[in-house]
Homo-oligomer: A and B are copies of this chain.
Amino acid sequence: MASKLLVDIHTHVYLPRYAALLRSRSAVPFIRSSATHDGKLDERLLILDHEPSGGRPVGPQYWDREEKLKFMDKHGIDVSVVSTANPWLDFLPASQAHTLAAELNEDLEEYCSTSPNVQDVPIRRLYGFGLLPLVPEITTASLLDTVKQVSKLPHLRGLIMGTRGVGKGLDDMALDPIWAAIEAAGLVVFIHPHYGVDAKAWGDMDNGHVLPLALGFPFETTIATTRLILSGVLDRFPSLRLLLAHSGGTLPQLSSRLASCIDHDPVVASRLKHDARYYLGKLYVDAVAYGPEELGFVSDVIARSGRYEAGTSDFKAANRSLGSQRMLFGTDHPFFPPLSSTEKWKSVVENSEAIDAVQGWSQADKDGVRGGNAISLFNLAE
């Protein structure tokens, strides 16, 4: 029964405490309020420098748990593993980040633990990813405290983090004790983008948010994960469970090029234990790629990783079923709302239909991606 559930592992919230913080601010990130011409409250979220618009309209779907449950009901989603949306605590001074992380983790535990059960199954409808106060000048002790806090909150099963670490990225050796603690606690780390790449790359034409979202976000995830691989984190912490947003960004398509560039560069050629492609088989990725060919390809790249464990490369076909076991349905709610009023959200329908249409995935594979894999990864049936 539990193996047929639909589980959304990429779904965000600004908890009321966090939304209040955003409303109190006047620099990015913040929520700006005004009145519409007919006197209604108009709230806009600005989260990026040089936001290429007047901000996104925000409302209760960003903070109200009932709205999350309504969205889930509308789309047949049984369980959501909810995470704070970017930019998390990145913009706060260390002391405030530490306190707020602890408070938001408690808030999210409450949000989940008081949620209803899935009908006929001893699983709640909401679980969560906690937050760490990953900001410059935070102490290792503070980060380790928060890992410990999250590991003791029964409905939090992982941590979401951006790509900046404590200011120098995720390949910063100073994070080694944190990776060790996360690995030991068995928490899943959801790596999620926020900053993209330098906006000068987008040029002068007004393309709305398309370039930073469609390209910048996956580039950022790709860079962060590649830097993690190159720093040896996955060699030193082989049981660390990393979940990459947006199907791993572009790392799957660049992984053979990456392996070749490493092989041809005297600085790094001898550094890692394995061919770069091996590490993709150690990762988990969401299935938020909007197309069946993309999902099938990503599962091939995960599946072929074993080929590179020993450094051999026989090219028998990658086993897509095997790769599917590390892929998990997600929606990115409440982002990407439909432009016009529709029964279901197009962004959700696209991701759902893409899973159904992957060539070479059995029904069991698809059920796994839709929910079974998440139930295992997050131990939801415990």
Contact call A203/B169, Cβ cutoff below 8 A: yes
Asked if A207 and B268 make an inter-chain contact with CB atoms under 8 angstroms apart, the answer reads yes
Asked whether, in the complex, the Cβ of B293 is within 8 Å of the Cβ of A258, the reply is: no
* Cα distance, A346 to B259, chains bound together (Å): 12
Q: Give chain B residues whose Cβ lies under 8 Å from the Cβ of A64.
A: none
Inter-subunit contact B211/A257 (CB<8 Å): no
Q: Kindly state the separation between the CA atoms of A198 and B200 in the bound complex, as whole angstroms.
A: 9
B293 near A318 with CB under 8 A, answer: yes
For the side of the interface on A, what is the size category? 35 or more
Which residues on B sit within 8 Å (CB–CB) of A222? 215, 250
- For A290, give the chain B residue with the smallest CB separation: B256
Known: A227-B211, A230-B210. A266 touches B339 (CB 8 A): yes
Q: Which of B256, B265, B356, B357 contacts A291 (CB 8 A)?
A: B256
List A178-228 residues whose CB lies under 8 Å from chain B: 197-198, 200-211, 213-215, 218-220, 222-223, 226-227
Partner of A264, one of B168, B257, B337: B337
Asked if A262 is at the interface (CB within 8 A of a chain B CB), the reply is yes
Give the residues in chain B near A211, CB-CB below 8 Å.
Answer: 223, 226-227, 230
Chain B residues with CB under 8 Å of A204's CB are: 168-169
CB-defined contacts of A317 to chain B, threshold 8 Å = 359
A346 near B210 (CB under 8 angstroms)? no
Picked from B213, B257, B296, B304, the residue with its CB within 8 Å of the CB of A290 is: B257
Report A324-359 CB contacts with B as 1/0, cut-off 8 Å: 000000000000111100000011001001101101
Q: How far is the CA of A265 from the CA of B276 in the complex (A)?
A: 36
A258: chain B residues at CB < 8 Å are 210, 214-215
**Which residue of B206, B219, B247, B257 contacts A214 across the interface (Cβ within 8 Å)?**
B257
Q: How far is the CB of A42 from chain B (nearest CB, A)?
A: 16
In the complex, chain B residues whose CB is within 8 Å of the CB of A359: 317
Q: Which of A208, A246, A301: most chain B Cβ within 10 A?
A: A208
CA of A267 to CA of B207 in the docked complex: distance in angstroms?
A: 6
Known contacts A214-B258, A252-B253, A354-B256; is-contact A346 B263 (Cβ 8 Å): yes
Q: Chain A 150-170 against B: per-residue CB contact (8 Å), 1 yes, 0 no?
A: 000000000000000000110
A278 to chain B, nearest CB (A): 13
Contact yes or no, A336 B264, CB < 8 A: yes
Q: Is A300 an interface residue (CB 8 A)?
A: yes
Rounded to whole angstroms, the CA-CA distance of A259 and B354 in the bound complex is 14
The answer to whether residues A339 and B264 also contact, given A197-B198, A250-B250, A293-B297 and a CB cut-off of 8 A, is yes
- Asked whether B339 lies within 8 Å of A269 as measured between CB atoms, the reply is yes
**A266 CB, min distance to chain B CBs, angstroms:** 6
Contact, CB under 8 Å: A209 / B261: yes
A364 within 8 Å of B by Cβ? no
Contact of A250 among B168, B254, B260 (CB under 8 A): B254
A255–B208 CB distance below 8 A: no
CB distance from A362 to the nearest CB of B (A): 15
A293-B300, A357-B315 known; A227-B203 Cβ under 8 A: yes
Chain B: which residue is nearest A317 at the CB level?
B359
Task: With A253-B253, A254-B218, A289-B256 as known contacts, state yes or no: A261 contacts B197, CB within 8 Å.
Answer: no
Closest CB pairs A-B (n = 9): A256-B291, A208-B267, A315-B357, A198-B198, A250-B250, A256-B290, A297-B297, A208-B265, A214-B261
Please give 17 more A-B residue pairs, beta carbons under 8 A apart, in addition to A168-B203, A207-B227.
A52-B267, A53-B267, A197-B219, A198-B198, A203-B227, A207-B268, A209-B261, A209-B267, A210-B258, A214-B257, A215-B250, A253-B289, A256-B290, A256-B291, A256-B350, A264-B336, A264-B337
